[in-house]
Structure formats: C-alpha cells, structure tokens
Structure 1
Amino acid sequence: MATPLYSSKLSGSKFKNWIKAGLGVLYTKQGIEPFVYDEIEQFQQKCLSDICNNNGLVAGTTCSSCCTENVIVCPTNRICNVGRGKCKFHRNSATQYLPAGCPNKICHNFKNDIQNAHRYYGPSYKNTDASQWCGNAWQIAKCFMPPDGYKDVTCALETDFNGIISVIINYKAFQSKIKDDLSKKSSIFEKAREVGRAVRHSPKLEMEDTDLQQYFSDLQNLLSDPANLSADKAAQNAKTKLLQLQNDTLIIGKDDIRNVLDDVAKAVQDKIRTEIDEHRKEAEKKKLELINTTNESVKTIANQGDVSIAQLDNALKSAIDKIEKQTKESLTKVQSEADVAKKQIHECADKEVNKLEVKAEVGVKQIEESTDKGVSNLKVEAETGVKQIEESTDKGVSKLKVEAETGVKQIEESTDKGANKLEVKAEAELKKLSAKADEKIKQIEESTTGNKEDEYNKLKEADSR
C-alpha cells in the first residue's frame, strides 16, 4: 500500500533533523565515554585493593576462575527462580552457586562491593562476566546498565548512549562528580537519555525543528555540568561539535553517519523480529529501507572520509528520491495487479452468474416436477386413506354391536345366578334364626320354673319357725 511516510515533501527537512539529532547523541556519548570509563576503572582498582587488605591477600591478587553464576545466590530476584523446576541460570554443575565463596577470596567480595555501589542495590548480573571483573573494568560497568541488551558488549565504544548514561545514574559514586542531582527524574542526564530514546524510537525517522533545538540544548547542558565535565577535554570537544552541527558548519565523518544509522537499524531490526502487528511491522521495514538507502547514498557521495552539511543534504535527498521512486513503482505495480485482479473477479463473477442462472432454471423445473408428483402421490394416498378409514369404521361398528349383545346376555345370566344365590342364603339364615329363637324360649322357661321352686321353699321354712 502507498504511504506518505517517506515522501520528500513531508520528510526532507524533518529527516535531516533526525539525522542531526542522532549525530548530536553520538558526539555527546563520545564526549563522556572517557569520563565514565576512568571512574569505573578507579572503582575496580579500589575494590581489588580493599579486598586484598581486608582478607590478608598479597597485593595484586586476582581471580578469573569464578563465573557470574558462582557468586549469585540461587534463587535471586530478577535473575533466577527454581520454584518451578531446574534453574536456567545455574544450569549445570559448573555454574552452581559456591556457598563457601571464591577460592581466592576475591569474587564474592567483589560482588558485594558492586551491589553496595548501585543506587538501587540491583546490579544487572545477567549482563556481566565475573571471571573478567579483575581484568576488564567495563564488565563491572555493565552491572550498572539496563538488564537486557548489553551481555555481548565488551567496551565503552560498543555501548550505546543509554547504557553510558545508565552507568552515571546508577553508580552512586558519580554523584560526587556531578553537580546536578542524579536521583531526580528531571536531571540533565535523564533528559539526555530521553533524547537518545527519541532518536532510536522515532516512528517516522523525522524530527521537528523545535524538538531538535531543545535536544541540542539538553545535550549541551549535560556537557556543561560545572563539577567536572565543563573542564573535561573530551566533553568540551563534543560540545563544540554540537554547536557546529546546530549551525550547519560541521564537517561530519562518514563513519559517524553510518554509526547513527546502524545503531537505529539494529533497534528497528529487533522491532521487526518481535512485532506481531503486520501494519507496524511493515512500517518498521520501510524505516529500515530508508536507513539502508541513506547509508548507500552517503557512501556514493562521500568519496573522502568526511561529509559536509551540503553533501549530507544531497545524500538525504538522493535517498528520499530513491525511496519515492521505489514507492511509485510499487504503487504502479500494485495498481496494475489490482486492475488485473479486478478484471478477473468480474469475469469470474459473470461466469458464476451464468452458472447460477442455469442451475436456477434446472432447479425450478425439478421443483415443479417434484411438486406435480407429490400432489399426485398425496391424492392417491388420501383416497386410499379414506377408503381404509371407512372399512375400519364399518368393522368397528359391527364389532361393537356384537360385543354389546354379548355383554347384555352376560349381565342377564349373572343377574339370575345372583338372585338364586341370595334366595338360598336367605332361607338358610331364616332356619338358623328360628332354631336360635326356640333355644332361647326353652332356656327362659327352665329358668322361670327353677325360680318358683326356690321361692316356695323359702316361704315354707319361714312358716315352720
């Protein structure tokens, strides 16, 4: 799809501003690298000296046998967690934590000194290689950088601006070298870090004039800190470059432009690898295309090692023109493909319409035939059903008539039998009652005669007295 992202009308001057801001960040980084390295190296030497003195070791004693895992307790927050199985940090027998400490009494003590020196007591141990703490001061510096993206960095030159600034902010001893309060989010170093982020993560590789001037001011304020940097030679050389760049009088090293573009290209490539949204991924690919094309244009224009602002303008214009041409060609190709596709769709649509019409006619005819057959079938089935119902009705009436006559006959017979049974039972009962009555009369008569004899005897005895 077409996008106005890289058209010369919209992006010419803003893209140049973005390049200049990137160069400003690069020069500022170069201006403070020696200052940061010297401070970290002094910290390294002080740690070694104190460890030897406190543990009765010979001065100059070092250790290179302990890996980082050997000095980090398992588990340690944000580094390793064994709660759900085997620890991926302490992954084998050679990378287990050594509870007894470094056999040379160096590395565990070094680790404690680094932790105490961190502003937030959270060194990025994943970045560093403890076996090099005694020999490479920058391995110690990496403990004060963000936890991701710096494991393979071996020196200040390979470290980006954000990493350098992080060392200054997180290593507490730098506060004694800087007048501004490093613990505040509004410090000159925090502002400078935001400039670096604005360059690396610019969505369109563009920058407004007002933003560019503000960024130049922030970077110059950092290089002008009165505690040390205002008198530091490298910092002041960087400040001079910034002023010349701001006034378009600087002769730029071709490698400087390449460094700026390569640094951002790396960030863009990382984004392309991790981006899920296809539209955003496509935008990142366009950015990478512009970066690579600009790099090629700078190489073509600048036969010497340096590039003037005018040559940079030409290189940027050439890159944008090339991108614009490629975009137009892509648009033409896409439009042509769209026209062909549209034509094919119409042709297919017409064919499908014809097929549908034919199928519809056949379908209607089949429906009509099926309907006629269905009506005939229904008529025959209806007549058959009526005939069956009539026959079943006649049979049912006859059957009911027979069953009714049989029932009446059975009732009459049952009634006669019942009457006879009742008559026999009544006669038997009358005989029983008559016999019982005769018995009772006889008993009464006998009882009356006995009573009379008793009364006579009693009267007779009374007279004799």
Structure 2
Amino acid sequence: MGHQSEIEKKKYRNWVKGGLAYKYLKQGLDGFSDDVVKQEQSRILGSINCTPGTICNQCIIERLRPIHACRTISAGNYECPWGQRKCNCLHLKKKKCRLKVCDFIMEEILQSHESTPPTPNWTNTDIQKWCTEPWEVAKCFINAPGYSDKTKAAEIDISGLLHVFINNINLHSHLACSMAGNNIFIQVRERRNKLFHSNTMEMEDLEVAKCIDDIVRILEDPKELSGRPEAQEAVRKLKQLKESKFIITTNNEVDVCKEALLFVSQKSDELKQVIEDGKIEVRYVVDTYTTKAKESIEKCQNAAVKEFNEHSTSLYERVKKLETNIPERMEKLKTDISERFGQIESDVSSVKERVTALESKVREVRELDAIRDIYRRHFDYVEGKQGNQVHFQKMLIMIFE
C-alpha cells in the first residue's frame, strides 16, 4: 500500500474512532440524563401552587396562555416581555390552564431556557403529558425537531441529550464544569456536527485525540457523573480507543456509518422544514404589513373627508373649512403615512435578512444531501463487507465441524 493510501486509511480510522467516541458518550450519559430530567420535573410539579397531585391532561399548546402578560406598544400592537416574536401571550384569546398547572409549567420552561429570548421547541412535546412524563418537559430544550415520539434518553441521540444539558439552566446544578459561554458541552456538540459533515470521512490525529479527551472530561465531571458505573465504563472504552493498537472492526464501521447517515438525513430534513416555515413566515409578514399599510392610509383619508363634511352647513362654510383644515389634515396624513412606511421599511429589511438566511439554508441542504449520498454508498459497502465476513465465518465453522 502506498504512503498516501496509508495516510488516508489512518484518517478514516480516526473518523470511525470519533464516531465511536460519541457512541460511548451516549452510553455514559443515558442513565444520568433520565435521572436529572426526572428530578427537574419533580421540582416543577412540587413548586406549583395547587393541590398536590393535581394533574391536567386537557390543555393544548397552541391555545395555552402563559402566566406572563404581553405589553401594549401601540393601538392593537403588543410585545412579549420575554422578547419572543411568536409567544402565546401576544394572542389575548388564548386561555389559561383551568387547573393552573400547564401555564405554570410553561412559565417554568421559559424561565429555565438558557437563550435570550427563550426559544423552547414546542413541536417536540406533548403538553398533555407534562404532569406524567418527565421527558415531555425536557424535550422542549432540544432545538431540533424530530423528537416528539421519544420517551427516554435511550431513544434520543447524543445531539439531543447535549441540547438538553446546554439549554436547561436548572440542569447545570448537576455539573461541576462551567456552562458559561462556549462551554465543553457546546464544543463537543459542534465537533460532532463537524465530524458527520465530513464528505471525506477523515479526521486528523490531533482532532480525534481532542475529541476523545473532551468527552472524557464530561464523563469524569466530579459533581455526579464520575461516580456512576456506566460513565466509568464509557471512560474505560474511550481510553482504549486512544491506544494505537485498538482494532477497528467492520461492526464498528457499520455502527458509525449508520449513525452518520441518520444524522445527515435528520439535519437535511430539519433544514427543509426550517425553509418551509421561513417561507410561510415571510409571506405572513409581507401580507400583514401590506394590509396594515392600506388600512392606515384609508383610515387617514376617511378621517380627512369626515372632518371636512361634518359641521358644514353651506358651501361657503365648507370652503372655509377646507381652506383652514386641509393643510393641517394633509400634514397629519403625511406624517401618519410616513411613520407607517417607516415601520414597513424596517419590517421589509427584516424580511430581506430572513430571505438571505433561508437562501443559505438551501445551500446547506444541497451540501448535506450530497454528503448523505456519499455516506449511503459507503454504508452499503461496509454493510456488504460485514455480511461477507459473517458468511466466511459460517463457512469456516462448517469446514471444521
């Protein structure tokens, strides 16, 4: 084998090792995640000001009004004190929970979210199970969609688990490491994204070493994690992974390729949904402000005509009234229209930024789909290799029986 081929093979082995490192991280985090998520749900339920044991399973997320109230910024226009653009508090016809349970839990989720403004992902959750299923609350902290049918840590990929720890500030108390800024959890999550965005399926020696070391740092967190047997076992496997004599099996390849293919497919589908939601939002903003602009202009025009017609009993009085009021009314009309169009220009600028962001997402989807095709072909290859090995082993058994 040539020198260049040997280098490429080593980088591919590193890529597989990187994938295995995240597999071991998940094995070490699953039980811990279930425990802290359950504790967080118990804390929330225990702090609700109602009869202990009260359970609500009737509310619907789209219709639930949160405890916090919106602020009035102008006639018919409101803003969320949390800074959320699509908060339920902006719609006054939403209803509070009749048992005062679900709206309290919603408020707790908002207060517990790390981002400003808070951005819970309500698409992942079933609000009617908030009182009975701990992960229905926890899944609100996973940024990406696609987790609505997951009920425990074992069913959630490592990216989703990392999101929960990063985004829920109450879970930070279970960790000794600092969760401020670009913390170790964020770095590990971003490195996984980079790992599975590689169309060459290669990783440098220093990269894979850093990847493994950071994962070990998480699992050896001294607050609670380091004392858990499953975390200790995962660390043992990770340290073996760093050894030069570690053997990459075909089964290892299949596992990592399958995980990479799943990741890229999910990410592509997620971005496609973001693009569709963005298109709907852009159309809504354009239609809304176009309608408001027309209504504002018509209102000013009608007011000017009404002002002229009222209290005028003769042609002479109407003319005098017209001469007196038209400059003033026209100036007010001009000011009102100018203010309205100033707001529209601001909103149009925001829409343009949104469209630019969507165009970037479209390009990213194309890149991901290309990577997915590469991963699919390679997965078919290693899966076929695995099948051939199993067949060969069976043949050997038959020969020596």
Does the pair score TM above 0.5? yes
Q: CA deviation at 1:130?
A: 0.6
Q: CA deviation at 1:9?
A: 5.8
Q: CA deviation at 1:82?
A: 12
- Whether 2:56 is the aligned partner of 1:63: answer yes
Q: CA deviation at 1:72?
A: 5.2
**8 Å contact 1:192–1:222 — kept in the other structure?**
no
Go from structure 1 to structure 2 and tell me whether the alpha carbon gap of 1:294 and 1:150 turns closer, same or farther (over 3 Å shift): same
> Which amino acid is 1:190 matched to?
I
Match in the other structure for 1:161: 158
For these two proteins, the number of residue pairs brought into alignment is 281
Go from structure 1 to structure 2 and tell me whether the alpha carbon gap of 1:249 and 1:155 turns closer, same or farther (over 3 Å shift): farther
Q: CA deviation at 1:225?
A: 1.5
Within the candidate set 202, 210, 213, 2:209 is matched to 213
Q: CA deviation at 1:117?
A: 1.8
Q: CA deviation at 1:150?
A: 3.1
Q: CA deviation at 1:289?
A: 0.6
Identity rate of aligned residues, in percent?
30
- Whether 2:129 is the aligned partner of 1:132: answer yes
Match in the other structure for 1:266: 262
Distance in 1, matches of 2:368 and 2:176, equals 42
> Which amino acid is 1:146 matched to?
N
Please give the secondary structure, in 1, of the residue aligned with 2:124: coil
> Which amino acid is 1:216 matched to?
I
Q: CA deviation at 1:206?
A: 1.1
Match in the other structure for 1:223: 219
Please give the secondary structure, in 1, of the residue aligned with 2:210: helix
Please give the secondary structure, in 2, of the residue aligned with 1:146: coil
> Which amino acid is 1:12 matched to?
K
> Which amino acid is 2:191 matched to?
V
Go from structure 1 to structure 2 and tell me whether the alpha carbon gap of 1:133 and 1:27 turns closer, same or farther (over 3 Å shift): same
Within the candidate set 175, 179, 195, 1:178 is matched to 175
Alpha-carbon displacement from aligned partner over 1:334-360 (angstroms, at most 9, x marks no partner): xxxxxxxxxxxxxxxxxxxxxxxxxxx
Q: Map 1:192-207 to 2 at 5 A.
A: 192-207=188-203
Match in the other structure for 2:385: 297
**8 Å contact 1:144–1:167 — kept in the other structure?**
yes
Distance in 1, matches of 2:165 and 2:263, equals 23
Distance in 2, matches of 1:190 and 1:279, equals 23
Distance in 1, matches of 2:124 and 2:64, equals 14
Q: CA deviation at 1:119?
A: 2.0
**8 Å contact 2:65–2:97 — kept in the other structure?**
no
Q: CA deviation at 1:260?
A: 2.9
Go from structure 1 to structure 2 and tell me whether the alpha carbon gap of 1:303 and 1:257 turns closer, same or farther (over 3 Å shift): farther
| Structure 2 unpaired stretches of 5+ | 71-78, 273-361, 393-401
Alpha-carbon displacement from aligned partner over 1:367-390 (angstroms, at most 9, x marks no partner): xxxxxxxxxxxxxxxxxxxxxxxx
Match in the other structure for 2:9: 12
Distance in 2, matches of 1:41 and 1:253, equals 37
| Structure 1 unpaired stretches of 5+ | 1-6, 84-89, 91-95, 305-465
Distance in 1, matches of 2:180 and 2:34, equals 21
Match in the other structure for 2:110: 115
Go from structure 1 to structure 2 and tell me whether the alpha carbon gap of 1:303 and 1:164 turns closer, same or farther (over 3 Å shift): farther
Q: CA deviation at 1:237?
A: 1.1
Go from structure 1 to structure 2 and tell me whether the alpha carbon gap of 1:233 and 1:278 turns closer, same or farther (over 3 Å shift): closer
Match in the other structure for 1:395: none
Distance in 2, matches of 1:135 and 1:82, equals 25
Go from structure 1 to structure 2 and tell me whether the alpha carbon gap of 1:169 and 1:290 turns closer, same or farther (over 3 Å shift): same
Match in the other structure for 2:239: 243
> Which amino acid is 1:26 matched to?
K
> Which amino acid is 1:68 matched to?
I
Please give the secondary structure, in 2, of the residue aligned with 1:64: coil
> Which amino acid is 1:260 matched to?
V
Match in the other structure for 2:320: none
Please give the secondary structure, in 2, of the residue aligned with 1:126: helix
Task: Decide which structure has the larger Cα Rg and report it.
Answer: 1
Distance in 2, matches of 1:263 and 1:97, equals 44
Distance in 1, matches of 2:261 and 2:210, equals 24
Q: CA deviation at 1:114?
A: 1.6
Distance in 2, matches of 1:280 and 1:134, equals 38
**8 Å contact 1:17–1:212 — kept in the other structure?**
yes
TM-score (norm 2): 0.61
Alpha-carbon displacement from aligned partner over 1:29-80 (angstroms, at most 9, x marks no partner): 22012112211111112222222xx22x2x3221222222232569974657
> Which amino acid is 2:98 matched to?
P
Q: CA deviation at 1:133?
A: 1.1
- Measured on the aligned residues, the alpha-carbon RMSD in Å equals 3.4
249-258 vs 172-181, greater mean Cα deviation: 249-258
Distance in 2, matches of 1:188 and 1:41, equals 23
**8 Å contact 2:124–2:140 — kept in the other structure?**
yes
Alpha-carbon displacement from aligned partner over 1:138-196 (angstroms, at most 9, x marks no partner): 111111111434334333222222211111121112222212210220x2212211221
Distance in 1, matches of 2:252 and 2:105, equals 37
Distance in 2, matches of 1:262 and 1:97, equals 47
Q: CA deviation at 1:81?
A: 9.4
Go from structure 1 to structure 2 and tell me whether the alpha carbon gap of 1:45 and 1:252 turns closer, same or farther (over 3 Å shift): farther
Distance in 2, matches of 1:270 and 1:49, equals 36
Q: Map 1:435-454 to 2 at 5 A.
A: none
Go from structure 1 to structure 2 and tell me whether the alpha carbon gap of 1:8 and 1:269 turns closer, same or farther (over 3 Å shift): farther
Distance in 2, matches of 1:280 and 1:166, equals 21
